[in-house]
Amino acid sequence: MGQGRGWEGAVLKLMRGKDFEFTVTDAEDVTPDFRRLRLTDGGMLAATGVHPTMWVRLWFENAGKPHQRAYTLVDPDPEAGRFSMEFALHEGCASDWARTAKAGDTIEATVQGTGFEVPQPLPSRVFAVADPASLPALNSLLDAVGAMPATIWFEGGGAEDGLPFRTDPELHEVRTVPRRDAGAHLVARVKEELPELLRAAPEPYVWIACDTATTRALGAYVRKELGVAKQRVNALGYWRAT
């Protein structure tokens, strides 16, 4: 698939994307709908370095055409040249590949567009909105900010479902929200509960990573209606509802 990735590949190349090949070393079904793969990095981490919530674009075949999807690195180890990736399984070419991936399988990847800095001044509290697709990034965020309190709205599951949360019950409050009305229920819950919580947080940091429409709606609400400074808001759509 290294040749002819269509317009997506051309754009990434123009934007100085770097290409690597990963090799699967192990696979684990965390739950029936959540699968973890362990991979070698093909020299990537030595070339790029590592930062919190770091993600790469994987290339899959979809009806004979190349298709890219972004995934977060889990526990990257630059010295060993290894990391894991976690897949919330649903319909689609990425999930189809992850379901059957086994040791020795390879996947091509492009590194482009990723970046994260812990906000300064440090937040007094983190407010996060996430779902199974962005759970690896949420875990990486919580690792990066250390012993900092957080309120998390999590759509579509919880630790009781076997998902690998890295939350500390003494620091992190997780409010699970069922997915209803294409994400509208989550938007309503956050709009109902966040304003009062913000009033008690002098230095808030709001991190939103859900489906694109939900993320866009909540990001605009937090910035425009609640008045949180844009440098204190990180909103990135992780998938598109179809």
What's the total number of domains in the chain?
2
Concatenate the DSSP letters of all residues of 143-192 into one string.
HHH-S--EEEEEES--GGGT------TTTEEEEEE---GGGHHHHHHHHH
Domain boundary among 87, 111, 135: 111
Does the residue 43 lie in any domain? Answer: yes
Residue type, 157: G
134 is written with which tokens?
A: 């962005």
In sequence order, the β-bridge partners of residue 66 are 61
Backbone angles phi, psi at 23, to 5 degrees: -125, 130
Burial 187-208 (b: 16+ CB within 10 A, else e): bebbeeebeeebeebeebbbbb
Owner of token pair 């808030």: 204
pLDDT in tens, the chain (242 residues): 444 555 454 444 444 578 999 999 999 999 999 999 999 999 999 999 999 999 999 999 998 899 999 999 999 999 999 999 999 999 899 999 999 999 999 999 999 766 777 788 889 999 999 999 999 999 999 999 999 999 999 998 777 889 999 999 999 999 999 999 989 999 999 999 999 999 999 999 999 999 999 999 999 999 999 999 999 999 988 888 76
Same domain, 102 and 131: no
Domain boundary among 111, 146, 178: 111
Same domain, 177 and 100: no
Domain of residue 144 covers 125-235
- The CATH number of residue 88's host domain is 2.40.30.10
Does the residue 57 lie in any domain? Answer: yes
State pTM to two decimals. 0.89
Q: Is beta strand 34-40 parallel, antiparallel or unpaired with respect to 18-31? A: antiparallel
121 is written with which tokens?
A: 């001044």
Same domain, 69 and 107: yes
Domain boundary among 79, 111, 143: 111
Does the residue 1 lie in any domain? Answer: no
Backbone angles phi, psi at 217, to 5 degrees: -65, -45
Nearest CA-CA partner of 134 in 198, 195, 189, 183 = 183
Same domain, 11 and 87: yes
- The CATH number of residue 186's host domain is 3.40.50.80
Peptide bond into 169 cis (omega under 30): no
